[in-house]
Amino acid sequence: MFLTTTLLAGGLLVVCPPSCDRSAPDAPVVSLAAVADSCGKVCPVTGALVSAGAVKELDIVDTAVAAGEFRMLAAALAAAGLVETLKGEGPFTVFAPTDAAFAKLPKETIETLLAPEGKERLTAILTYHVVPGKVTAEKVVKLPAAETVNGQRVDIKVKDGVVMIDGAKVTTADIMASNGVIHVIDAVILPTDQGVVEVAKERGFSTLAAAIEAAGLVETLSGKGPFTVFAPTDAAFAKLPAGTVERLLKPENKADLTKVLKAHVVPGRVYSDKAVTLSTAKTAGGWMLPIAARDGKVLVGGATVTAVDVDARNGVIHVIDSVIIPE
């Protein structure tokens, strides 16, 4: 008779002895809590004692595969070349969409993502479901957001006892694995694939977008980054002395415009919770940008931050109400 393997909650694979007979009509189902002593555990089918060496704690990937409801996730991880990564030491926290969650996506979307040419986007999506470290449900519910391996943040909301991750509902929490923890979600969550320049344009920062183009910085700010952009609104540019914007946008003043714009860009992805702990940040132009928290407001270079943590593929945007003029 073949050995019987059974996956239990907690990512533990129990290898039952040959005497284990699943067909036995009255075979008891015994939880791992039923442990005879420190040298063995109990077969969940027959109750027979299993040697400690036959109990194997699975990693995140094997736990997902053994659960049987993450076939699409497993296929996606393989297509993206992330299997070995998630079988590594970690620890990782994975918000794992079920097969039913993937089925909510258009069929052509799944086909495109699984094709070789979709690997980059697929990797971005999958890493958006992974948070570094072991974040159990107890910790998750206390967080407003969590930074993913992708670099972007997922928003976390709790209402009426239901935990939502970027709009996806957590249906099962705290499935433990040897290198982390899995929380099951009912939808695939999608990071933005727009860069900071595209996000700025979409959100109506038309003067800033025109200035970036005039300074020849579109390609740079569309690159890998990441960048933190303190983005002045159109109203912020309008506060400058009459004729200032028009002057800066002229080709002969490109160097001055570039200097001003680089004072609004900090290398790296600096979210608001980290920004408020800083007194200065070195900008892309080498200027030390002063940062201060005062009367419940955050000031950067004398401008007030009015909105924070707008994610982009290659960075994060914080909205400010004035144009920063470097010294």
Per-residue pLDDT of the chain (327 residues; tens, 9 = 90+): 233 334 444 444 443 444 444 333 333 332 333 333 334 444 443 444 444 444 557 999 999 988 889 999 999 999 999 999 999 998 999 999 999 999 999 999 999 999 999 999 999 999 999 999 999 999 999 999 999 999 999 999 999 999 999 999 999 999 999 999 999 999 999 999 999 999 999 999 999 999 999 999 999 999 999 999 999 999 999 999 999 999 999 999 999 999 999 999 999 999 999 999 999 999 999 999 999 998 889 999 999 999 999 999 999 999 999 999 998
For the record, the structure tokens of 307 come out as: 């909105």
Nearest CA to 309 out of 154, 118, 115, 140 is that of 154
Closest by CA to 169, choosing from 189, 185, 180, is 185
pLDDT of residue 302: 93
CA distance 27 to 148: 44
Q: Rounded CA gap, 11 and 66, in Å? A: 9
Can you tell me the distance from the alpha carbon of 186 to that of 208, in angstroms, rounded to the nearest whole number?
A: 38
Torsion from C-alpha of 40, 41, 46, 48, nearest 10 degrees: 10
Instruction: Give residue 57's pLDDT.
Output: 76
β-partners of residue 145 are 155
Q: What is the pTM of this model?
A: 0.80
Confidence at residue 56, expressed as pLDDT on a 0 to 100 scale? 59
pLDDT of residue 257: 97
Nearest to 182 by CA among 66, 81, 34, 103: 66
